[in-house]
Amino acid sequence: MEIKIENVSMTYPSGKQALKELNLDLGSPSLIGLLGPNGAGKSTLMKLLSAALMPASGSIYVDGHPLSKMERTLKAQLGYLPQDFGLFDELTVTQFLDYMAALKGLRRPKNAIREVIRQVNLEEKAKARIRTLSGGQRQRVGIAQAMLGNPSFLIFDEPTVGLDPEERIHFRNLFSHAAQERLVLLSTHIIEDVQSVCDQIVVIHQGSILFSGTPAQMIQAAEGHVGVFWEQEAAWEEGLHITARVNTSQGIRCRAVAKELPSFVQPEEPSLEDAYLYLISGEVAQ
């Protein structure tokens, strides 16, 4: 599946412009991490890609055809976990998935339901009512319904919210596995979620794309802009965005990103998190 986003802008009826002239190409197989602070426009982009919203201007093409003409075809191939996913509290996990399978038009869904329950590690809760589940378990039910029917395009809007670190690792691996033969788009503001599994990262901020490329390219872009210094030796901190501050027995060790590093800052290899903070801080400073 190939998706082409051309000059897409989105303004809500309130007048809020959530996306500005976006251009982006996505193609399977791929696991794409959509990173950005809260309010950046990630959910809006995902809603546009799932045809839950229509762009105010610009076009989205799916396999070369306008999305407006491909809506049903796209929805038949799509698994979507929205951010505010309402669950049917009084149903059991299996009953809910059976309901979702019916909406997706799956015939004889028993095996498919069993398989997604297994994938999200919820076998023990298959017969439990959704209202009795923990936040993380509910999130897993949301992920399971998105994966029902083996869709070729998966959109997960902040799927790891509410999951503990061990569960997050499990799901990262699951997404990575799913992306071997699919297009998987994962929105998050947790860098570790994309660091280990995404082959492409798109950073979005205030409705615009700041970066699109591989994690290695993102790190490369921050080289020479990340360093450490002792706070007591710092002549000034203007223009420095301090990203870590550790109290040690020798004093306070700071890590910072900056467009130009002052001489008292000793350059260091950027991490993906540094690179992200560098991109975002540059925008904030403007």
- 160 forms part of the interface with ligand ADP (CB under 6 A): no
Long-range contacts of 101-107 (CB under 8 A, 24+ apart): 101/148, 101/149, 104/76, 104/148, 104/149, 105/76, 106/148, 106/149
Contact between 172 and ligand ADP by CB under 6 A: the answer reads no
Please, are residues 266 and 228 in contact by the beta-carbon 8 Å criterion?
A: yes
Between 24 and 63, how does the x/- string for binding to ligand ADP read (CB under 6 A)? ------------x-xxxxxxx-------------------
**Rule CB under 6 A: is residue 135 a binding residue for ligand ADP?**
no
- Note whether 283 binds ligand ADP by CB under 6 A: no
Which residue's structure tokens are 């998105």?
146
Is the alpha carbon torsion for 174, 47, 190, 276 positive or negative? positive
Q: Count CB neighbours of 24 within 10 A.
A: 19
Q: Return the DSSP state at 88.
A: -
CA dihedral 83, 179, 154, 98 (to 10 degrees): -100
Among residues 16, 110, 131, 259, which is the contact residue for ligand ADP, using CB under 6 A? 16
Question: Between helices 93-103 and 110-119, what is the axis angle to 10°?
Answer: 120
Q: Is 12 in the site for ligand ADP (CB under 6 A)?
A: yes
- Pick the closer one to ligand ADP by CB: 112 or 193: 193
205 binds ligand ADP (CB under 6 A): no
Identify which of residues 130 and 143 has a Cβ nearer to ligand ADP in the complex. 143
Quick one: 229 or 276, whose CB is closer to ligand ADP?
A: 276
Quick one: 27 or 39, whose CB is closer to ligand ADP?
Answer: 39
Q: Which is nearer to ligand ADP, 85 or 88 (CB)?
A: 85
Footprint on this chain of ligand ADP (rule: CB under 6 A)? 12, 14, 16, 18, 36, 38-44
